[in-house]
Chains A and B, each alone.
Chain A
């Protein structure tokens, strides 16, 4: 069991978290924009997350929290 939480309004849509997820579950939203005007990153299939925290380590803007 693992869970990632995105502080969406901090996200700058750089997609670096997407590029490092070994399970390919991080993706950019297409249906909403945040306060800064970016499509924020998110995870839909949370059951596939293994809590490795790669996305959080790669994120330059400390958007992501990981629980395991």
Chain B
């Protein structure tokens, strides 16, 4: 018998601190598998966010740098411009990327920085205890929208991928999900393409991953995956939003 599945080398042995069933762990593994397959672990520099993935620097077995909340694309810009031969990626949550870091991601994409962004959209602030994010769905109950999010007072959930796809500098943008095996496979292909997009020098690439936060959604891990399929995908359609040849 030979091994057909094992922990990728681009993940360290450290057990991850994420809550049971949180899809952060799945996405970490996919990114690490892609690093292994492209054989870029020794040449990759990751930028960790503020949010539940703040300890990503302990889990990815490549060089890592922590950024201030939302500023990962700015840090990645600096790192990539100093080390144009390295592969540079950011890993960011939706609070990090769409609230406090909204300006940084827009301008990094618009400048066409040759970086790869992995964007975890779980429709909530996980780390700080379940506050509403710009991506929370209308009607979604969070600690700061106890009666459900209303468009009149909180605006509409932001479709970041569609927004960034409108920018000239963006080379490849796709939204994926990890709520079942078929979608996990598609997500991995997209992550791989996003790293290849950088390696071939095409420009800015972002993969938005629809994810779960069972703890703050108040659901079991399995119910959370079902909630993604039933509620998130209809509002956040999956697929390629932009791809330059």
Interface residues in chain A, defined as those with a beta carbon under 8 Å from any beta carbon in chain B: 1-3, 9-10, 12-16, 19-20, 38, 51, 53-54, 56-62, 64-68
Chain B residues within 8 Å of A51, by CB: 4
Interface residues in chain B, defined as those with a beta carbon under 8 Å from any beta carbon in chain A: 1-7, 11, 15-16, 18-26, 29, 180-181, 184-185, 214, 220-222, 225
Chain A residues within 8 Å of B3, by CB: 65-67
Known: A58-B181, A60-B26. A12 touches B6 (CB 8 A): no
| Interchain nearest-CB distance for A29 vs B (Å) | 15
| Interchain nearest-CB distance for A7 vs B (Å) | 9
| Interchain nearest-CB distance for A25 vs B (Å) | 16
Shortest Cβ distance from B33 into A: residue: A57
- Beyond A13-B20, A14-B21, A58-B181, 9 extra complex contacts between A and B, CB < 8 Å: A16-B21, A51-B4, A54-B181, A60-B29, A61-B18, A62-B7, A62-B16, A65-B7, A67-B3
Contact B7 A68 (CB under 8 A): no
CA of A64 to CA of B21, assembled, Å: 14
Chain B residues within 8 Å of A61, by CB: 15-16, 18, 25
Chain A residues within 8 Å of B184, by CB: 57-58
CA of A44 to CA of B34, assembled, Å: 32
Chain A residues within 8 Å of B16, by CB: 60-62
Contact B26 A67 (CB under 8 A): no
Chain B residues within 8 Å of A10, by CB: 15
Contact B1 A58 (CB under 8 A): no
| Interchain nearest-CB distance for B142 vs A (Å) | 22
Known: A15-B221, A62-B11. A57 touches B5 (CB 8 A): yes
